[in-house]
Amino acid sequence: MNQLLAILTLTCLAVASCAQTVPKEKFTKASDIVWASPGGFNLTMDVYTPNTGKASYPVIVMFHGGGWLINNKSIMNEPAAYLASNSEYVVCNVNYRLLGDQNNTVKMNEIVNDVFGAVLWVKENISKYKGNAGQLIVTGDSAGGHLATMVLVQGNNLESDGFAGNTLGFTPTYLPKGKTAEQVAKENGLAVQAALISYGAFDLYGSALGGFEKESNIFWSIGKAKARGLFGDGINPSDNPAPYKQVSPLYTIPKASERKLPPMLFTVGSKDNLTTPASIEAFMAKLKEAGHTNMEYWVHEGRPHAFLDSGSSQFLGTSFQKDAPPALDKMIAFLNKVFY
């Protein structure tokens, strides 16, 4: 596990900023919009609107990767710009809290709360940026892929008392005015119409058992935080597996007879040693067991983890300009079949 984490960390550290490959006039960008401030901690997003003259566009809500401990939305600047320039989708590039934020007190369920809140904020406000709130796509890579998948499988599990009560539900960081978490769930308020999941992590319970919460996970030191439990000190996956499984899509897939999931595209690099093709295929098999069949799978041959990141990595020999466009073009083609 340490070797895999080192590979991903070196990838993140080696990312260098590079010029966008498309002229800015292909889209209009609204930067650093504050959409919520939990505990006074501002959460922001960038919104990219294509300049193709349409009155309204479907909306992609994007969550970055980084092991829930490092990076921010800037790592997705180039993918967001590429999508807004080469397709007709509004793109929302979202910041959420990391585990090390707020004096290293953020819990994994609170990160999920942020992601759920971002989707609800987009639904209420995206019309100001020519987005169609009834045509939403969630996407993310690695940790962001996990978070986007949580919208699909746990978006109806909302409770005002969150993880503090006898049952474990989520309380979105942003709620529509006058509505409770329970009301949003009853109205299916977090429903989305498609998902693009890139090399996502689906089993945080297994990751915690494997050492994620220990100092040997160098993401903690890179994120300048002391290693601890995902739900605070005193809670561990061996003695209390329930919260870990509740934030793990692998264990929370709804049956299609109860709730049908939207069209999904899963992508992964053939040389990804962190979220391997086998792990993606195993999750897709679980989806099929539950009756979900509206999905596609694409393997990016010869590519490792993090092939969507902005910039370049000398260590892995990858760069956005070389490696990301084929994957993004695949995503655009998939979405066009759904929405156009």
> What is the C-alpha separation between 243 and 208, in angstroms, rounded?
11
The pLDDT, as a whole number, for residue 81 is 98
The closest of 302, 301, 297, 322 to 311, measured between CA atoms, is 322
> What is the C-alpha separation between 212 and 195, in angstroms, rounded?
26
Q: What does pTM read for this prediction?
A: 0.94
Per-residue pLDDT for 339 more than 60? yes
Higher pLDDT, 171 or 19: 171
> What is the C-alpha separation between 283 and 80, in angstroms, rounded?
26
The pLDDT, as a whole number, for residue 11 is 45
Mean of per-residue pLDDT scores for the chain: 94
pLDDT in tens, 69-84: 999 999 999 999 999 9
Per-residue pLDDT for 318 more than 90? no
pLDDT in tens, 87-129: 999 999 999 999 999 999 999 999 999 999 999 999 999 999 9
Which region among 13-27, 209-223, 297-311 has the lowest average model confidence (pLDDT)? 13-27
Which region among 298-302, 317-321, 331-335 has the lowest average model confidence (pLDDT)? 317-321
* Residue whose tokens read 């070196």: 10
The pLDDT, as a whole number, for residue 185 is 98
> What is the C-alpha separation between 174 and 245, in angstroms, rounded?
24
Task: Evaluate whether 192 touches 156 at the Cβ level (below 8 Å).
Answer: no
Per-residue pLDDT for 174 more than 60? yes
> What is the C-alpha separation between 113 and 144, in angstroms, rounded?
13
Q: Pairing mode, if any, of strands 131-141 and 57-63? A: parallel
pLDDT in tens, 9-66: 444 444 433 334 445 689 999 999 999 999 999 999 999 999 999 999 999 999 999 9
Q: What is the mean pLDDT of residues 314-339?
A: 94
Q: What is the mean pLDDT of residues 198-218?
A: 98
3-state secondary structure (DSSP) of residue 24:
helix
> What is the C-alpha separation between 340 and 333, in angstroms, rounded?
10
3-state secondary structure (DSSP) of residue 42:
coil
- Helix-then-strand count for the chain, H and E: 11, 10
Per-residue pLDDT for 1 more than 60? no
The pLDDT, as a whole number, for residue 316 is 75
Q: What is the mean pLDDT of residues 138-148?
A: 98
The closest of 53, 58, 115 to 91, measured between CA atoms, is 58
